Amino acid sequence: MASASLPSTPLTRRSLLFAGFGLIQHHLDVVVLAGIEFESWGAGRGPRSYLRIHSNEQTAKEALLAHLAARPGPALLVRGSSRNVTVAGGRLDPNRMFTREGAEKSYRRLNPEWGPAEMAKALDWLDRERPRLLERLLPEKGGLLISAHNNSEGYSVEDEVASSDRLHLPRRREPHEFFLATSESDFKKLAQGPYNVVLQSGQKGDEDGSLSRTCARLGVRYVNLEVGSGKLAMQIEMLGFLEKALPE
Ligand SMILES: [Zn+2]
């Protein structure tokens, strides 16, 4: 086993070298950002980075790891087994923490016993941590952030139609599989393919603290790939299409 260790950060709790995983040897660290443990594959910023933010979405993890076998990453995957995480003493949906307003809504829903002082303390702490989280998460300037999600029976592309600026829905009868892009140029390229795509480059709808809204506001190219839970082959196929459709 070659030991091509990458530099570890002060955040690293432990490091493991994973070898023989496809063509690229991946160095796996565990990092803590905004109080959340992430598996960190690859290192540094690149033109393309990958994320699995809901740790109960196992298919998304398997798809990403298979996809990354031949790619350098970097990738961050939230550790654990439930959708929500504990941050600053309260339960929180990690895809609602990218703005103070969104985090407050999620904290309020998941921690109904909290009073104003507990809420303010948690939100202030998160405000201080968020820049470092984004610094690690976002790709280099002009790069692309790819986030893999899974949904079950409830959520589908139909829930995104009202908040979207443009739609390409050739498979509207398969609404659980879709891309959500924040860049119009990326949307146009993805919309040449056979999959559902929505563009959310504006700020329509309620501020929910999601990463897609934050990327849209910051002008960061972001594509969210949603696939029904368990549809591993489909998620790998759509990741492959995404890479080809949006060349670096
Ligand atoms: Zn998700």
pTM given for the model: 0.88
Amino acid 232 reads L
Any domain includes 8: no
User: Do residues 246 and 223 touch, judged by C-beta distance below 8 A?
Assistant: yes
Compute the distance from residue 152 Cα to the ligand 1 centre, in Å.
10
Any domain includes 31: yes
Any domain includes 175: yes
Split into its structural domains, the chain has a count of: 1
Compute the distance from residue 2 Cα to the ligand 1 centre, in Å.
35
To the nearest 5 percent, what fractions of the chain are helix, strand and coil? 35, 25, 45
Compute the distance from residue 190 Cα to the ligand 1 centre, in Å.
21
pLDDT values of the chain reduced to their tens digit, one per residue, 248 residues:
444 443 434 333 333 444 334 444 566 799 999 999 999 988 677 789 999 999 999 999 999 999 998 888 899 999 999 999 999 999 999 999 999 999 999 999 999 999 999 999 999 999 999 999 999 999 999 999 999 999 997 899 999 999 999 999 999 999 999 999 999 999 999 999 999 999 999 878 889 999 999 999 999 999 999 999 999 999 999 999 999 999 77
Burial 209-239 (b: 16+ CB within 10 A, else e): bbbbbbbbeeebbbbbbbbbbebbebbbebb
Domain residues for 57? 15-82+138-245
Compute the distance from residue 4 Cα to the ligand 1 centre, in Å.
32
Any domain includes 108: no
Q: Which residues pair with 180 in a beta bridge?
A: 198, 224
Residue 1: other Cβ atoms inside 10 A: 8
